[in-house]
């Protein structure tokens, strides 16, 4: 029998796909109208910070008021040398707008048309309108808590890199003919000059078709953008890769593997059955190999920051936690909170921890 949570997930996915059909017919007209009236439909508020050579287009969606963690993200960006351009896909309260002014170069408030890629697109439009000429732009959104660790070096690695296109997390997807294609998660990636002025980059945004269907946004935005940029430059780099995760797993000893096995989130019944068998088995050289292989298989099947949240944060130093409401990430957040309470995960941002607890 199919688990109830899985049935609901598939039903929701089918509903999203069905919703894409009528949207495909009239959204081009909505976009044409939106672009013609964009300067009247978005509200811009100047911030107190000057623009720098390194900009961060920070997309937020905070309909119930801006969370404290969002301000922490802005302050972390500033401390790392970035000037935030904050794009809000919902109206801001007067209090939040004034507070954000002190930690932004400019603030945009826009309709939630096109989700994060719609906001990124308007952020780039404003960069052009202001005649800014950055050497690097980070694109980041509030679908993750960041930074979760005070020791995060992600932005230092971003600012120090000389590659044209790079991201916090790289995924490998199956493309046409089962060909493997790399893709950066759209919640945090960056582009350096000269790719910023490359025709592939410019044409993507000029021709991008906005959609308020999440699946279409993933397909046209996150996936298509990554594939096109990686075709346009051989100079790209994903900082947190599956290979990096696997090397962390290979470095674990008996106790670390036992803990990782206990913390592992396995939604697949076959993986869960193997996990329980290994937890009950005697420790041996065979057990070590089987446990490492299982943790790696779980990470290959599902995103490792969901399937192995504790070692991803503590051992690999992954500085973000997904806010996604899928079951995998809900269970991962529960496991993170438990690890903190048991004293196994030190240094987690207390603001992030408080917001996670409130969400659960």
For the stretch 205-258, pLDDT in tens is 999 999 988 888 999 999 999 999 999 987 899 999 999 999 999 999 999 999
Distances (CA, A) of 36 to 32, 122, 262: 6, 13, 55
Which pTM does this prediction carry? Answer: 0.91
Give residue 25's pLDDT.
Answer: 57
Mean of pLDDT values over 59-64: 97
Query: Per 3-state DSSP, what percentage of the chain is helix, strand, and coil (rounded to 5)?
Result: 55, 15, 30
pLDDT tens digits, 62-80: 999 999 999 999 999 999 9
pLDDT score of 18 more than 50: no
Q: Three-class SS of residue 104?
A: coil
Average pLDDT, the chain: 91
Residue ranges per domain, the chain? Answer: 26-240, 242-359
- Domain 26-240 sits in CATH at 3.90.550.10
In the structure encoding, which two tokens stand for residue 260, read together?
Answer: 């990782």
* Between 197 and 12, the higher pLDDT residue: 197
């Amino acid at each position: 029998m199919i688990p109830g949570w899985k049935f609901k997930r598939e039903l929701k996915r089918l509903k999203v796909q069905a919703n894409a059909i009528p949207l495909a017919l009239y959204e081009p007209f909505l976009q044409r109208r939106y672009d013609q009236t964009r300067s009247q439909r978005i509200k811009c508020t100047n911030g107190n910070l000057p623009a720098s050579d390194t900009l961060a287009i920070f997309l937020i969606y905070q309909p119930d008021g801006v969370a404290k963690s969002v301000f922490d993200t802005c302050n972390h960006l500033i401390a790392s040398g970035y000037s935030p351009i904050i794009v809000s896909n919902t109206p801001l309260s007067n209090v939040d707008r004034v507070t954000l002014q002190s930690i932004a170069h400019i603030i945009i408030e826009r309709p939630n048309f096109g989700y994060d890629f719609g906001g990124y697109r308007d952020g780039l439009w404003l960069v052009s309108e202001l005649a800014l000429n950055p050497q690097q732009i980070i694109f980041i959104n509030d679908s993750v808590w960041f930074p979760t660790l005070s020791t995060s070096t992600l932005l230092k690695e971003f600012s120090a890199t000389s590659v044209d296109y790079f991201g916090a997390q790289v995924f490998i997807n199956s493309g046409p003919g089962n060909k493997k294609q790399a893709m950066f998660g759209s919640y945090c990636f960056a582009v350096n000059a000269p790719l910023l002025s490359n025709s592939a980059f410019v044409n993507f945004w000029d021709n991008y078709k906005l959609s308020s269907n999440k699946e279409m946004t993933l397909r046209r935005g996150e996936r298509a953008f990554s594939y096109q940029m990686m075709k346009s430059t051989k100079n790209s780099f994903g900082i947190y890769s599956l290979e990096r995760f696997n090397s962390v797993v290979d470095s674990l000893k008996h106790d670390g593997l036992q803990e990782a096995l206990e913390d592992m989130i396995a939604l697949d019944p076959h993986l869960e059955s193997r996990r329980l068998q290994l937890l009950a088995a005697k420790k041996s050289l065979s057990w070590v190999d089987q446990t490492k292989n299982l943790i790696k298989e779980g990470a290959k099947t599902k995103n490792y920051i969901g399937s192995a949240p504790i070692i991803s944060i503590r051992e690999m130093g992954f500085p973000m936690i997904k806010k996604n409401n899928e079951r995998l990430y809900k269970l991962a957040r529960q496991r993170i909170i438990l690890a903190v309470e048991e004293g196994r995960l030190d240094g987690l941002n207390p603001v992030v921890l408080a917001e996670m607890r409130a969400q659960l």
